[in-house]
Amino acid sequence: MTHLAATEIPRAFLWKGDHLALLDQTRLPTEQHWLMLRNLEEVAEAIKMLRVRGAPAIGVAGAYGAVLAIRNAWKDQSAEASDWLNGFLEITEALRQTRPTAVNLFHCMDRMDRVARVFVEDARGTESGMKRFDPAAAAERLESEAVAIHREDEELCSRMGSHGAELIPDGARILTHCNTGAVATGGLGTALGAIYTAHLSGKKIQVYADETRPLLQGGRITAWELFEAGIPVKLITDSMAASVMADGKVDLIMVGADRIAANGDTANKIGTLGLGVLAKHFGIPMYVVAPTTTLDPALASGQEIVIEERKADEVRQFQGQYSAPPEVDVFNPAFDVTPGEFISGIVTELGVHRPPYDFRTLMAGKG
């Protein structure tokens, strides 16, 4: 199997040790503008404003943000271990508050918290001996954890890509929604990673990319990624999806996820539920591609998933201009939940899972 060289795919961010270089996705595709983020406020703002977006990518960016923040907080200072730990827990809590739906961010913050706690416990164990708590060493340990999270996400993308590509027949016409590509993750992408992988294995594929109102991740980012990779893509507005399917132009639907409950109910970009209903109506298979870090087996069903509501102007405006009365009331949920029973298969790095889904048992077995 051919793999895209790391240099050929766009990147959401690059870790530079003392800052996070981040591609501002709000300016794609017309500008590839890189931001140099150096503190908690800048990273939190970038996540809230969708300068970095996509469930896995915000988890990785959050982990790097936590490293920058703890370094800034304890620059050239010695610290009481408990004060340092409390400060770190406040940082990760602030990052958790940026966006509520994608669970990857929460998993990453929990993982960073665990590492911080273990570091402090180890230091306590030796304090009566020679070693004192060293904030610089603690930050270094957290940095290596953030880098590990990033590398692991890259690896998960490769494995999901291979499993997902097997579901794509040669000649397939695939409909996708939002952006699930390289800039939405630390690697090749989720659903788009499978599409890249199928393309690289020599399959002739055609992608229909939903524009994805209100913020146009499909038009601005997916169409750009696929076009740059030389993968045939037709951009459609969201309201065209039903008629494209009715015309028999879609063989399968492949999307990503922001949080998947134990029963397979899947929160993803607003509009995904409509595709699930259409898939069922037209008998078209719908696949979700997401790493196990997007699973939330603690939730029995999608009813428990918190759906982010965003600012009214995202809907009242189109590219900075009012396209509706400036004072009109708006409902702007960023995600919806597709019932697991509408989903033909959920692809993780472990393989293809089929309904009825039971991710609680799967993840308990994984330890």
Residue 184 touching ligand MRU (CB under 6 A): yes
Site track for ligand MRU across 100-129, x = CB under 6 A: --x---------------------------
Rg (CA), the chain: 21
Of 90 and 154, CB closest to ligand MRU: 154
Of 115 and 257, CB closest to ligand MRU: 257
In 99-241 the beta strands, taken as DSSP E runs, fall at 173-176, 206-210, 233-236
In angstroms, the CA 18 to CA 24 distance is 19
Binding to ligand MRU (CB under 6 A) within 330-359 occurs at 334
Question: In the set 15, 44, 56, 165, which binds ligand MRU (CB under 6 A)?
Answer: 56
b or e along 26-45 (b: 16 or more beta carbons within 10 Å of the residue's beta carbon)? Answer: eebeeeeeebebbbbebbbe
Tokens of 133: 């708590």
**3-class state of residue 204 by DSSP:** coil
Is 329 assigned a catalytic role?
Answer: no
Q: Which range binds ligand MRU by CB under 6 A, 53-61, 227-235, 295-303, 356-364?
A: 53-61
Question: In the set 98, 190, 293, 344, which binds ligand MRU (CB under 6 A)?
Answer: 190
Question: In the set 9, 12, 28, 55, which binds ligand MRU (CB under 6 A)?
Answer: 55
In angstroms, the CA 266 to CA 285 distance is 15
> How far lies 195's CA from each of 70, 232, 268, in Å?
38, 11, 18
| Site size toward ligand MRU, by CB under 6 A | 18
Residue 54 touching ligand MRU (CB under 6 A): yes
In angstroms, the CA 181 to CA 160 distance is 12
CB of 115 to ligand MRU, least distance (A): 24
Nearest 5°: phi and psi at 268?
Answer: -150, 180
Residue 276 touching ligand MRU (CB under 6 A): no
In angstroms, the CA 69 to CA 53 distance is 20
Residue 256 touching ligand MRU (CB under 6 A): yes
Of 258, 265, 296, 336, catalytic: 258
Q: Which residues pair with 207 in a beta bridge?
A: 174, 233
For binding to ligand MRU (CB under 6 A), which residues are involved? 50, 53-56, 102, 178, 180, 184-185, 190, 217, 256-258, 268-269, 334
Residues involved in catalysis = 258
